[in-house]
Amino acid sequence: MENEKNEMQDKENQILSEVETLVKAEYEVVRLQMVDGASRMMGALLLAICLVLMSFAVLAFGAAAAVYALALYVPAWAACLMVGAVFLLLIPILIACSKTLFINPLVKKMSGFKNVEELKYETLRAEGRAAVQRERMSGHIRFAQAVYTHYTQLAKTAWNAILGLFTK
C-alpha cells in the first residue's frame, strides 16, 4: 500500500514536471513567433518610411537639378532625368538589402539572435520540443484515465460488496 502511494506520488510529480516543461515550451514558441512577426512588421515599416523619403528625395533633387541645369551644358529635362534615374536605381537596391539593413538588426536587438534564419531555426526547435511534450502528456493523460477507471471499478466492486453484506 505504501509502495503504491509512493509510485502514485512519483507519477504525480513526473506529470507536474511534464506540464511545467510543456508550458515553458509553448511559451517559448509563442515568444519566438511574436519576435518573428514583430521584426517583419518593423522591417516593412522602416522600408516603407525609407521608400517615402527616397521618393521625396527624387522629387526634390529632380526639381533642384532642373533649376541648376538651365545654366549648364545639358538641357533641363536631361538633367532631371539623370538625377531621378540615380535615385530610382537606389530603390530596388534598398529593397534587395532590406533584410540586411533592417530585419536582421531588428531581430538581433529584439531577440538576441544573429539573423532571421537563426530565429526561424530556434522557432522550429521550440515547436519540436513543444510537440514532444504534448506527446509525453498524452501518455500521462492515458495513464491517469486508466488509473481513474481502475479505481472507479475498485470502488464499485467495494460498494457492491458492502451492499451484499447488508442484503443477505
Does pTM surpass 0.85?
no
Alpha carbon distance 150, 168 (integer Å): 27
Q: Is the pLDDT of residue 61 over 60?
A: yes
Q: With contact defined as beta carbons under 8 Å apart, do 91 and 51 qualify?
A: yes
Q: Is the pLDDT of residue 70 over 60?
A: no
Q: Is the pLDDT of residue 103 over 60?
A: yes
Q: Is the pLDDT of residue 60 over 70?
A: yes
Q: What's the pLDDT at 146?
A: 76
What one-character DSSP code corresponds to residue 157?
H
Tens digit of each residue's pLDDT (9 = 90 or more) over 134-152: 777 777 777 777 777 877 8
Q: What's the pLDDT at 62?
A: 66
Tens digit of each residue's pLDDT (9 = 90 or more) over 72-102: 777 767 777 777 787 788 888 888 887 777 7
Q: With contact defined as beta carbons under 8 Å apart, do 79 and 66 qualify?
A: yes
Alpha carbon distance 94, 86 (integer Å): 13
Alpha carbon distance 130, 153 (integer Å): 34
Alpha carbon distance 109, 89 (integer Å): 30
Alpha carbon distance 8, 1 (integer Å): 11
